[in-house]
Amino acid sequence: MPMIEDIIPNAILQRDKKTYAIVPKIPVGIITPEELDKISAVAKKYSIPAIKITSGQRIALVGIEEEDLEDIWQELDMPKGHVKPTDRNLHYVQACPGIAACKYGVQDAIGMGQEMDKVFRDISLPAKIKVGISGCSFSCGESMVRDIGLLGKKSGWSLVIGGNAARRPRIGDIVAERLSKEQVISLTLRFLNYYSLHGKVRERTARFCERLGLERIQHAILSDDERMHNLILKEEHHD
């Protein structure tokens, strides 16, 4: 018998056991004036009591009556975001401004985030994943505590896996460095495919990486050239 909050997709039952929250999909937190107008209009029309900016750079509409859900989604005309812990897919991609606005940015965090969302939004996984992208080493995109993280450096991207900021926090593992945009997409896809094959149902990447270990994962997803590249980088770091 499914839990009541699992019966209605893309909505999560609130503490009062009567109303719901929904989260329109807003990749990397970039939203248009027209989309803001739609959110404002439905909030006023349906007397939605709370509009909350989430930690994942999304906007939650909280306190919606069940009978209003479908009409609100139709009037918003925005993609539906995943909100349930049981949704086993990409929940969101968050990103800092990167070189688009920040004086410290050295990589295009927003562009990379939009590409990651486009490529991985429909992939089925053992558990939900969250992606954090930072255009520099200050890591404002919380890259080290996300299932997939990217840290921008002048030499390219560092790919982080297995981070988590939940009840059992974990700093992620850097699996490869000095990557191009194309290499990031390719290597992330290889990791997610490996995770899909070997991960347990509802096992987050943090626990998956702890169980298998970084060395085993690297051996499985890195090519011989990439492993050699990593060894060279490690020697440079030690010098």
The domain made up of 4-76 is a member of CATH 3.30.70.3340: yes
What confidence tens digit (pLDDT) does each residue in 18-33 have? Answer: 999 999 999 999 999 9
Alpha-carbon gap, residue 184 to 204, rounded angstroms: 20
Average pLDDT, the chain: 92
pLDDT value of residue 4: 46
Could you tell me the pTM of the whole model?
0.89
Q: Which regions of the chain are under pLDDT 50?
A: 1-5
Q: Residue 211 CB: number of other CB atoms within 10 A? A: 12
pLDDT value of residue 224: 72
- For the chain, give every domain's residue range: 4-76, 90-238
| Distant-in-sequence, close-in-space partners of 46: CB < 8 Å, separation ≥ 6 | 64, 65, 68, 71, 72
Q: Give the bridge partners for 50, in sequence order.
A: 62
Which CATH code for domain 90-238? 3.30.413.10
What confidence tens digit (pLDDT) does each residue in 165-200 have? Answer: 999 999 999 999 999 999 999 999 999 999 999 999
